[in-house]
Structure 1
Amino acid sequence: MMKDSPSPPLEFSIRNLNESVGSLFSHVRSSMANMINQRTTGELGITGTQGSILFMVWSGRCLLAAELAREFGIDASAVTRRIDLLEARGLLTRVRSVEDRRVVRLALTPEGQAIAARMPAIFACVVDKLLSGLTPEETGFLEILLRRVLANSGDLAGLTHDATLYFEKKTH
């Protein structure tokens, strides 16, 4: 026999849930991903995720499938499927390391490089649209707050050295 689930607090409501910071984070992320996906699908003939993978390899941030899995927060088999699709499209190749045969690096084909090089403009256009109407000061403050949220999560990979120093000074 299952125990009854605890009742939500009296102040809980669907309105509060939809307007919570967590829900807003989720909606912003989803809107951003949808906007990127629309642009990449229409302009490049690939999904936003595929474009992001190509960009991560092109930028040198992720050269291994395991690095992509960590970056995107997905399991290795999901990354492998995405890499397989990009490889089948002729946008990416797997290159076995000569130093360690167990290591397989990812490399872009010339077509993959050309697509990856277009991703920063797509990202910037989407972010500009999302931030339209905000003043430069508001945008700067939002960046500071988001960096603090990332620092609180323990995910310091997205923070610059200067930002981590800023938060260390503020907390000491």
Structure 2
Amino acid sequence: MDHYTSEGFDPTQSVGFAINKARNVLIAEMDDALKDLDITSQQMGILLSMHRELAATPFELSKLLGIDTGLMTRMLDKLERKGLLERSRSLEDRRVVNLKLTKEGVAIAARLPAIVPVVLNARLKKFTKTEFEELRRLLYKFLGE
């Protein structure tokens, strides 16, 4: 079933426009909440993913977070310069780069669960529990997951 047609299509009324605008609002609010830690919301995703052991290589992070490998490399460069992570070559396969949080990276990642829910809950405060669960369900359906 097609939900859009070329006749009378208004991009400002599209799902893509709303999702992109919501993403931009959330990133701005999250970045503001993270400024004292000197990280961005995208960097937060990397740190949390590594801290929770969801990913340990640039490729795994790229796939998990939906970030292309070029941008991932640049973000990892920044985190490495900040002293939050270290890279090392795999002994089994030199093409594989393993990532590890530094002591400072672990400390920052450990602080994130006290910050992130506050930002998300502020944005979701007008949603009932049922609406929240439905929004989450629909977003994952949209993503094909």
Q: Across the two proteins, how many residue pairs are aligned to each other?
A: 140
Out of 11, 24, 30, the residue aligned to residue 17 of structure 1 is 11
Q: Is the 8 A contact 2:80 2:86 kept in 1?
A: yes
Q: Distance in 1 between matches of 2:88 and 2:16?
A: 40
What residue number does 1:104 align with?
A: 97
What residue number does 2:55 align with?
A: 62
Divergent runs of 4+, >6 A: none
Q: Distance in 1 between matches of 2:56 and 2:126?
A: 37
Aligned-partner SS, 2:92: coil
Matched, 1:123 2:116: yes
Q: Which has the higher contact order (CA 8 A, sep 6+)?
A: 2
Deviation at 1:126, TM superposition (A): 1.7
Q: Percent identity?
A: 39
Deviation at 1:27, TM superposition (A): 0.9
Matched, 1:32 2:23: no
Q: Distance in 2 between matches of 1:39 and 1:95?
A: 31
RMSD of the TM alignment (CA)? 1.8
Aligned-partner SS, 2:34: helix
Distance 1:74 1:140, change over 3 A: closer
Deviation at 1:95, TM superposition (A): 2.3
Deviation at 1:106, TM superposition (A): 0.4
Q: Is the 8 A contact 1:52 1:119 kept in 2?
A: no
- The TM-score normalised by the length of structure 1 is 0.73
Q: Distance in 1 between matches of 2:61 and 2:113?
A: 18
Aligned-partner SS, 2:16: helix
Distance 1:145 1:70, change over 3 A: same
1:42-53 mapped onto 2 (5 Å cutoff): 43-53=36-46
If you compute each CA radius of gyration, which structure gives the higher value, 1 or 2? 1
Deviation at 1:136, TM superposition (A): 1.2
- AA matched with 1:66: F
Aligned-partner SS, 1:87: helix
Which deviations, in whole Å up to 9, do the C-alpha atoms of 1:45-78 show, x marking residues without a partner? 1222222211111111121111222234333232
Q: Which runs of 5+ in 2 are unaligned?
A: 1-5
Distance 1:34 1:109, change over 3 A: same
Aligned-partner SS, 2:115: helix
